[in-house]
Structure 1
């Protein structure tokens, strides 16, 4: 057990999906996993472990923002030996061709600052996804109803940002969407030699002001979860 995850080491799988919202973790576990069992509820941050097509999977909530995700990812890696960590979450679209409900597979995750900034100091580190996971996710996305985009995203350390000048430059430089966790996940995975990827569903749009009502978000996130699961086990045997 760790400070924030109350599971025993044998209760956490090597493959972990990480939604920010603990209730989304419960929805995903109940919808996609067989025999899902609650393995963590410390501070209400729910985690479940079950089976998907013969593979053992944990779905653990990570909270909102890079500091919160960093806590859970660090504990999953250091204590529970998680090898593959895939963020599944929502994001805000930034490009005109990116629509509500579209799926974004994040190749890179730019950020101004993250919990790892104190270690990296003056280095302008470029966090990126694991290539094998990225390639498998792109393959898994083909033929689905959701339109999929692959490219760079922005991981913000604030939700209520007031930098229209920064938004303008990100749009200019092709950033597809904004969220709050992926850059730190990619950095931690690189540091510890693990595989990481972020697969996101566009729930709102910074340019158009469109947004999915809360009751429609879960129904729109199914493709994202399926892509994540297929990518995680595209070339490996069942546990």
Structure 2
């Protein structure tokens, strides 16, 4: 039987120190409901320096930086760090939601709270040969090859998610050695970007005239063997996972496996069933089958950030 902790929440479950969440070190009100989330803490200041004015929050704690300020059109926006990978993201996104949903005095969930708009701006590896290096990928669906999402028993948002889980599982099992101790152990889970965010990102990219594609993003649990990089002397469980997925049909007309990164899956898996709106836009900065890597990718991050901020403007207007 599933159990839920009774409210009020207690410090071991949700540590609050001096009215601040434990890891982000933020108080309610310091984080806007419109948020760009990035992996690299230095990317927070890079985006803020280029796009925000009137900074009223600039904090760093445990390697997690948050800046809150205003866009040129007066919208209050926060940029915060998720860290690398879904385990770190799981901590951060829980605290982001808690800052808006929970009353820190009573330690109970509020009856009313704002809908969050959260857009991940990151970098990714391209999977398709005909997708130009530097192209922005707007995620429609994500498939998680991490296990973070498996600890949150959310129902699949639609039948496409169920299809994607089966497609990816079959694709990986087809190349894992029969002698592998991990045969049958990888359990993909699929998640969905909020349609409003996909639409807002698409309209913003079109308005700004940037090169973009929409597709399925694969979120890996690591950077090296997890994404097909065979650098260590230990053989990868799934040989050439990137090549395998690039050639796999998603089963969804018009959508391909376009890119790989490390956070999209859980972000969408967690926020969608809560009724918050989340999406992802990442430039492709490498294409390993062609041995290409975009060294000077900051301009592409800047481009993706501009698209994301314009999307947040649209989302707030639509609320």
Q: Does 1:110 find its partner at 2:143? A: yes
Would you say the 8 A contact 1:24–1:218 is kept in 2?
no
Contact (CA 8 Å) 2:27, 2:99: kept in 1 or not?
no
Which of 123, 146, 156 is 1:90 aligned to?
Answer: 123
Residues 197 and 315 in structure 2, CA contact (< 8 A), matched pair in contact too = no
* Aligned-residue offset at 1:40: 2.5
Of residues 216-225 and 58-67 in structure 1, the stretch that sits farther from structure 2 once superposed is 216-225
1:209 CA drift (Å): 1.9
1:46-57 aligned at under 5 Å gives the runs 46-52=65-71, 53-57=73-77
Q: Give the drift of 1:192.
A: 1.8
After superposition, residues 48-197 of structure 1 pair within 5 angstroms as 48-52=67-71, 53-81=73-101, 83-120=116-153, 125-144=189-208, 146-161=210-225, 162=236, 163-173=238-248, 174-197=256-279
Give the TM-score of the pair, scaled to structure 1: 0.91
1:185-215 CA deviation, whole Å, 9 max, x = no partner?
00110232210001001111122121122xx
8 Å contact from structure 1 (residues 16, 57) kept in 2 = yes
Cα pair distance change 1:238/1:41, threshold 3 Å:
farther
Change (3 A) 1:122 1:225: closer
Partner of 1:4 in structure 2?
Answer: 23
Does residue 204 (structure 1) correspond to residue 281 (structure 2)? The answer is: no
Checking the alignment, whether the CA contact within 8 Å between 1:107 and 1:150 is kept in structure 2 is: yes
SS, match of residue 121 in structure 2:
strand
Q: What TM-score does the superposition give when structure 2 sets the normalisation length?
A: 0.69
Aligned partners of 1:224 and 1:122: how far apart in 2? 30
Q: Secondary structure at the match of 2:83?
A: coil
For residues 90 and 37 of structure 2, the distance between their equivalents in structure 1, rounded to whole angstroms, comes to 11
Deviations 1:116-165 (A, max 9, x none): 21333998543010101101111111154531010101000011123334
Unaligned runs of 5+ in 2: 1-19, 102-114, 157-164, 166-188, 226-235, 249-255
Q: Distance in 2 between matches of 1:145 and 1:232?
A: 17
SS at match of 1:95: coil
- Which stretch of the first structure deviates more once superposed, 170-179 or 76-85? 76-85
Q: How many residues align?
A: 237
Shift of 1:35: 1.5
Inter-CA distance 198–3: structure 2 relative to 1 (3 Å threshold) = same
Aligned to 2:302, which of 218, 222, 225? 222
Partner of 2:184: none
